[in-house]
């Protein structure tokens, strides 16, 4: 089967105009070419064609952005801005993103490969909600009064309180799978806390970050508060994580790069938040409602073409229901419409890049070679785009690479289990601990199992449900810290204790 091409003529004129713009970094409220003058190509993964070019930045550009962010952080215009005014700016940015949601969704789709319908219904509303949730924080980021009992001072001699101050200049590095959503998860709490930001989008998907920068300028954020520097990880990204002028780095991406970020951060001991990889289990108990569990398990792995850090990539089903569940998921996989993101009927778009397609296909080959059987997919449709058909493996062993490593593509490994202790041990038999789902009607059993799963989020009868109010992050090698919720804002603050001798 050959997949249809992405038809850019169906996009809005404003989207095409933006694609045709000569893109530059957004530093200190200005659009600036990379100091080196270099640019890098932005590729449409549905066709393999270059659709735009952006600045190929390095340490020189990051330096300029950090200097701008530092100046903005120290200026009264941002530091002493009334919390209500900071809230209004965040709301204004959210409103502008909402007003431009169709353009942002088309850019996201063309840049990343995801369907425009999904970008419109999921990525962008969730990003906008995150900005609005965090917009409520500046006026509520209250400290507390403290009650010291210092033994060597008389009663009533001290008054003390703790206050949350912004951590300073934040370097934010995001991946390509949810470009706008994950940038919102970073900039919204950082700005709410009073920080300034240098953001680096992934080299594969820089367009929506630049569009959001344009909207932030329109919203009226002071120059230097939000800076966007595009470029590769080993150049621009490494310059951010090692920069002595950055007080905190917040990173979402692979565990491998997370380790590099951590090493680079030791120079000035900058604070670090890491949201890393996963190999999340979906566990179907014998009593599960299969009308919910089968489509739920399929969407748990195939949503966003499996390029989700919490993708339910390991399916464990009680042996009494295994054949029925796995056949059901394989039927869904076989019936999914693979196509370009701009086609409204598309259910599975291309993977983000040729490299990612080759990586996923190498995992599928390794699964075959190590003796696992393929129930659905296992190949790519013909054409120039970076597609991989949704794939279901059975007859796997726990030591296989496809079972142990994060594939980050539409590839499911399914295995039967006998008893609960066995499946809990298997679910936890991974260095990752980001997400998990349990499918069951037995509420009491669910409550017994959930705390025994070593994962930052456990979903019950659903998978991949995220919200700005719900803390999100990983146990074990899936990361440090949490995004979303109140915890996310606190992560961009330093606690200052004030002690007054009366
Ligand atoms: P990646 O780690 O290769 O890249 C992520 C970002 O880091 C990109 O912006 C990249 O340019 C930058 N980068 C790369 N090398 C760098 C370096 N040496 N120094 C500084 N920055 C560098 O990850 P990816 O392939 O873009 O994304 C896929 C990974 O992200 C998967 O492992 C996935 O699980 C993870 N992810 C995690 C979450 C989460 O919330 N836990 C969410 C989405 C994706």
Which pLDDT does position 9 carry in this prediction? 87
Which phi-psi region, left, alpha or beta, contains residue 351 (left: φ > 0; alpha: ψ -120 to 50)?
beta
- In 134-148, which positions are buried (b, 16+ CB within 10 angstroms) versus exposed (e)? bbebbeebeeeeeee
What gap in Å lies between CA 91 and CA 301, rounded to an integer? 33
Determine the 3-state secondary structure of 496 from DSSP.
strand
Q: Residue 463: CB partners within 8 Å, gap ≥ 6?
A: 280, 282, 296, 297, 299, 300, 310, 312, 435, 437
347 lines ligand 1 (CB under 6 A): no
In this structure, the residue with its CA closest to atom 18 of ligand 1 is 234
CA of residue 203 to ligand 1 center, whole Å:
10
d(CA 65, CA 382): 43
Q: Compute the distance between CA of residue 386 and CA of residue 380 in angstroms, rounded to an integer.
A: 8
Q: Whose CA is nearest to atom 32 of ligand 1?
A: 254
Confidence (pLDDT) at 320: 98
261 lines ligand 1 (CB under 6 A): yes
CB 336 within 8 A of CB 305: no
Ligand 1 and 62: CB distance under 6 A:
no
Residues sharing a CB contact under 8 Å with residue 425, sequence separation 6 or more, in sequence order: none
Residue nearest to atom 6 of ligand 1 (CA): 175
**Of the residues 61, 175, 411, which should be mutated to test ligand 1's pocket, given the most ligand atoms within 8 Å of the CB?**
175
pLDDT of 8:
87
Question: Which of 254, 275, 478 has most ligand 1 atoms within 8 Å of CB, for mutation?
Answer: 254
Within 10 angstroms of residue 37's Cβ, the number of other Cβ atoms is 8
Does ligand 1 lie within 6 Å of residue 177's CB atom? yes
Report how far ligand 1's centroid is from the alpha carbon of 276 (Å).
Answer: 7
Atom of ligand 1 nearest to the CA of 483: 40
Measured by CA distance, the residue closest to atom 35 of ligand 1 is 253
Tokens 């530092």 map to which residue? 70
Topology of domain 281-467 in CATH is Aldehyde Dehydrogenase; Chain A, domain 2 (3.40.309)
Which ligand 1 atom lies nearest to the CA of residue 173? 9
- The answer to whether 434 and 479 have CB atoms below 8 angstroms apart is yes
Active-site residue, selected from the candidate residues 309, 347, 361, 477: 309
3-state SS assignment for residue 124: helix
Catalytic residue among 106, 204, 275, 477: 275
376: β partners: 392
Q: Return the CATH architecture of domain 8-276+479-499.
A: 3-Layer(aba) Sandwich (3.40)
Nearest alpha-carbon partner for 170 in 96, 87, 271, 254: 271
Positions of CATH 3.40.309.10 in the chain = 281-467
Residue 259 CA, ligand 1 centroid: distance in Å: 11
pTM: 0.97
Place of tokens 């009491």: 444
In the chain, CATH 3.40.605.10 covers 8-276+479-499
Series of mean pLDDT values for 10-residue runs along the chain (502 residues): 76 95 96 98 96 97 98 93 97 98 98 97 98 97 95 90 98 98 98 98 98 98 98 98 98 98 97 98 98 98 98 98 98 97 95 98 98 98 94 98 98 98 98 98 98 98 98 98 96 98 92
Q: Is position 204 annotated as part of the catalytic site?
A: no
Cβ of 252 less than 6 Å from ligand 1: yes
Q: Are 209 and 104 in contact (CB under 8 A)?
A: no
CA distance 148 to 155: 10
Nearest atom within ligand 1 for CA of residue 176: 26
What are the start-end ranges of the H helices in 137-266?
179-193, 207-219, 238-241, 255-265
Residue whose Cα lies nearest atom 43 of ligand 1: it is: 309
Catalytic residue check, 32: no
């Amino acid at each position: 089967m050959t997949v249809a091409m992405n038809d850019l003529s169906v996009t809005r004129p404003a989207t095409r105009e933006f694609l045709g713009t000569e893109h530059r970094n957004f530093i200190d409220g200005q659009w600036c070419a990379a100091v080196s003058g270099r640019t890098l190509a932005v590729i449409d993964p549905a066709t393999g064609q270059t659709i735009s070019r952006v600045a190929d930045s390095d340490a020189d550009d990051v330096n300029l952005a950090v200097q701008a962010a530092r100046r903005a952080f120290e200026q009264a215009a941002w530091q002493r801005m009334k919390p209500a005014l900071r809230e209004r700016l965040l709301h204004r940015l959210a409103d502008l993103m909402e007003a431009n949601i169709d353009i942002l969704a088309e850019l996201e789709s063309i840049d990343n490969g995801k369907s425009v319908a999904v970008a419109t219904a999921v990525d962008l509303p969730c990003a906008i909600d995150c900005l609005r949730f965090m917009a409520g924080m500046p006026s509520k980021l209250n400290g507390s009064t403290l009650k010291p009992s210092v033994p060597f001072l008389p009663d009533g001699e001290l008054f003390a309180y703790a206050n949350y101050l912004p951590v300073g200049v934040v370097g934010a590095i995001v991946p390509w799978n949810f470009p706008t959503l994950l940038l919102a998860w970073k900039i919204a709490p950082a700005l709410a806390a009073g920080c300034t930001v240098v953001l680096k989008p992934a080299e594969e998907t820089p367009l929506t970050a630049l569009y959001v920068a344009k909207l932030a300028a329109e919203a009226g954020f002071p120059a230097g508060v939000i800076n966007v520097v595009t470029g590769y990880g080993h150049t621009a990204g490494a310059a951010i994580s090692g920069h002595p002028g950055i007080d905190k780095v917040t990173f979402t991406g692979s565990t491998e790069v997370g380790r590099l970020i951590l090493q680079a951060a030791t120079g000035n001991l900058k604070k670090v938040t890491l949201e890393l990889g996963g190999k999340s289990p979906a566990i179907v108990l014998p009593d599960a409602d299969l009308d919910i569990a089968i489509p739920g398990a399929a969407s748990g792995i195939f949503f966003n073409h499996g390029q989700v850090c919490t993708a339910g990539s390991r399916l464990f089903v009680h042996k009494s229901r295994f054949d029925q569940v796995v056949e059901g998921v394989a039927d869904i996989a076989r019936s999914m419409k693979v196509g370009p993101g701009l086609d409204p009927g598309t259910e599975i778009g291309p993977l983000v890049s040729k490299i990612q397609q080759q990586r996923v296909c190498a995992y599928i080959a390794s699964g075959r070679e190590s003796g696992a059987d393929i129930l659905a997919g296992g190949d790519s449709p013909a054409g120039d785009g970076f597609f991989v058909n949704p794939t279901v493996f059975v007859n796997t062993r726990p030591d296989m690479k496809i079972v142990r490593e994060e594939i980050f593509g539409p590839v499911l490994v399914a295995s039967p289990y006998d008893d609960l202790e066995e499946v809990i041990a298997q679910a936890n038999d991974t260095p990752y601990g980001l997400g998990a789902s349990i499918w069951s009607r037995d509420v009491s059993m669910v409550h017994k199992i959930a705390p025994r799963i070593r994962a930052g989020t456990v979903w019950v009868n659903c998978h991949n449900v995220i919200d700005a109010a719900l803390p999100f992050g990983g146990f074990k090698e899936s990361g440090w810290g949490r995004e979303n919720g109140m915890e996310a804002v606190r992560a961009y603050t330093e606690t200052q204790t004030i002690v007054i001798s009366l």
